[in-house]
Amino acid sequence: MNAPLSAIALPAVAIRPVPDALLCALQARFGERCSTSRPIREQHGRDESPFPVTPPEVVVFCESTEDVAAVVKLADAHAVPVIPFGIGSSLEGHLLAVQGGVSIDVSRMTAVVRVNPEDLTVTVQAGVTREQLNAEIRDTGLFFPIDPGANASIGGMAATRASGTNAVRYGTMRENVLALTVVTASGEVIRTGTRARKSSAGYDLTRLFVGSEGTLGVMTEVTLKLYPLPEAVSAAICHFPTIAKAVRVTIELTQIGVPIARCELLDVNAVRAVNKQSKLGLRESPMLLMEFHGSAASVKEQAETVQALATEAGGEDFEWASTPEERTRLWTARHKAYFAGMQTNPGCRSVTTDTCVPISRLAEIIEASIADADASGLPYYIVGHVGDGNFHLAYLVKEGDAAERATAEAASERMVRRAIAMEGTCTGEHGIGLHKMGFLVEEAGSGAIALMQSVKRALDPKNIMNPGKIFAL
């Protein structure tokens, strides 16, 4: 059986040195935008995963597709790894330079290149964040709905095939990316896809790169679908005596086809954490946080259906948040749940796992995972985009406590294996990175992994594009 990553250590770090000739060439081309400063390198060698800092040898701040292409061409000539870097919000070690090399920071690539309101499309540079994008297009009456919680970069969201709270209604990055500008491993700039909503022209290279985690190329521009801002928006919270009852309401809503926009679950520990951080005063019990989009009439109809189902299932304290201020307050608290949970145990690190299962198995896996978490003796909390069968469980472990880390990793491993056994996936939206390489083999099978490796070798023969992630070569 293919074991997941060691509970304590990274895979063997094997640094591929950066030759002086490459460093000199980068410094000559980029000047002050090329840095070997230790603090900057360490910043680019950490993310939100529980792994130790593993910095690159050099960081280059790129401002255009041409900049990225120049870096990659030089790296290719010297067979040196490159790791794309956006905001640094990864939870699975995607950004760690386990083979050293050059970190390509795209955070200065923040241009909204082209907005086509009549076509409901927008093209942005990879460093644009989702909050920036929605702020800049607000006056068009449109918005981009994909919301993973963190204010992630659009390039990072495409690279990890992110989804988040709105996926129930609007889908994931996979469904919402129309086209890409990509710098390949040789430094060539290619375009995949068009602004047309469908195509049957050749291989779907856009879908190949979306979710590739920087292992096949560096995305520099992304063309996205946009959606009209809904005429009416309403949010509601409902508390339940047990997690199981909350989840079963979610299952029923999904199965009868209620077009709910968001359906989020917070367990009692998560509710307690957001209460403390955001001063909400919510009842400390399992809670569903829901949002409805549409016309005034359709939102009212959806809400009445949900309220009836929730009440029948034992839901209590059903409350509406109809004003923008009330909704923003609730969703801001939900987005801060990860860090709020962390702050309940200062000095701890989070070992966080997400899975996604067929909706009919959701209650079963959550109940089993809670029983396992309670038995572990570790503090934990659960949040989930449960409308599409996806949830996250975070264990809090003392910094440097190997025994607690091992306990958390073992419990997370059991949770992931439950999901795979239920015909689900080891990750609904976090991606594979370093943390779930072994689980990917279990989920996909050795034949599928071999095919992925063949694609990787064909597109990146020198293995310079974010090496050591997804699978080993």
How confident is the model over 407-448, as pLDDT tens digits? 999 999 999 999 999 999 999 999 999 989 999 999 999 999
Cα separation values, 127 from 23, 159, 181, 349, Å: 24, 12, 13, 27
Is residue 64 within 8 Å of 80, Cβ to Cβ? no
Tell me how many degrees the CA angle 343-412-347 measures, rounded to the nearest 5: 25
Cα separation of 214 and 160, whole Å?
8
- pLDDT recorded at residue 4: 44
Exposed, middle or buried, 209 (CB in 10 Å: 0-12/13-18/19+)? buried
| Res. 372: pLDDT tops 50 | yes
pLDDT digits (tens, 9 = 90+) for 307-320: 898 998 889 888 88
Provide the 3-class DSSP secondary structure of residue 281. coil
CATH architecture of 20-108: 2-Layer Sandwich (3.30)
pLDDT in tens, 136-182: 999 999 999 999 878 899 999 999 999 988 888 999 999 999 999 99
The domain 112-228: what is its CATH number?
3.30.465.10
Q: For the residues of 288-301, what is the DSSP string, one character each?
A: EEEEEEE-HHHHHH
What pLDDT score was predicted for residue 1?
A: 35
Q: Is the pLDDT of residue 3 over 70?
A: no
Distance CA 356, CA 368 (A): 14
Percentage of the chain beyond pLDDT 90 is 71
Q: How confident is the model at residue 259 (pLDDT cuts 50, 70, 90)?
A: confident
In three state form, how does the secondary structure of 298-342 look?
A: HHHHHHHHHHHHHHHCCCEEEEEECCHHHHHHHHHHHHCHHHHHH
Q: What is the pLDDT of residues 441-471, one digit of tens each?
A: 999 999 999 999 999 999 999 999 999 999 9
Domain ranges of the chain: 20-108, 112-228, 232-338
Could you tell me which residue, 313 or 58, shows the higher pLDDT?
Answer: 58
First vs last C-alpha separation in the chain: 18
Q: Find, among 342, 324, 333, 429, the residue nearest to 385 by Cα.
A: 429
Res. 304: pLDDT tops 90? no
Q: Decide: helix, strand or coil at residue 364.
A: helix
- Measure the CA–CA gap between 404 and 406, rounded to whole angstroms: 5
* Residue 64, pLDDT above cutoff 70: yes
Q: What is the pLDDT of residues 321-357, one digit of tens each?
A: 878 888 888 888 788 888 898 889 888 889 999 999 9
Does residue 217 contact residue 459 with C-beta atoms inside 8 Å?
yes
**pLDDT exceeds cutoff 70 at 15:** yes
Q: What is the pLDDT of residue 5?
A: 42
β pairing state of 380-385 and 287-294: unpaired
What single-letter amino acid sits at 455? Answer: V
272-285 mean pLDDT: 90
Residues 50, 388, 334, CA angle at the centre, nearest 5°? 55
pLDDT on residue 72:
98
What integer best gives the mean pLDDT of the chain?
92
Q: Note whether 385 and 394 are within 8 A (CB).
A: no
Given a cut of 60, whether residue 392 has pLDDT beyond it is yes
Residue 333: the pLDDT is 79
The pLDDT > 70 percentage for the chain reads: 97
The residue ranges of DSSP E strands in 95-201, in sequence order, are: 102-105, 112-116, 121-125, 142-143, 177-184, 189-193
Distance CA 418, CA 404 (A): 21
Q: Under CATH, to which class is 232-338 assigned?
A: alpha beta
Which pLDDT score is estimated for 168?
A: 86
Q: What is the pLDDT of residues 403-416, one digit of tens each?
A: 999 999 999 999 99
Across residues 382-411, what is the average pLDDT? Answer: 92
pLDDT at 389 over 80: yes
Question: What pLDDT score was predicted for residue 108?
Answer: 98
Structure pTM? Answer: 0.92
Q: Rg of the Cα trace of the chain?
A: 22
Q: What is the mean pLDDT of residues 223-228?
A: 98
Strand order in the sheet with 82-85: 34-35, 58-61, 102-105, 82-85
pLDDT for the residue 12 = 63
Residue 7 has pLDDT above 50, yes or no: no
Q: Name the range with the highest mean pLDDT among 37-51, 203-217, 303-317, 400-414.
A: 203-217
Q: Would the pLDDT of 13 be above 60?
A: yes
Q: What is the pLDDT of residue 9?
A: 47
Residues 113-139: pLDDT tens digits? Answer: 999 999 999 999 999 999 999 999 999
Q: What pLDDT score does 10 carry?
A: 54
* Nearby residues of 258 by Cβ (< 8 Å), 6 or more positions away: 302, 305, 306
Separation between Cα atoms, residue 234 and residue 232, nearest integer Å: 7
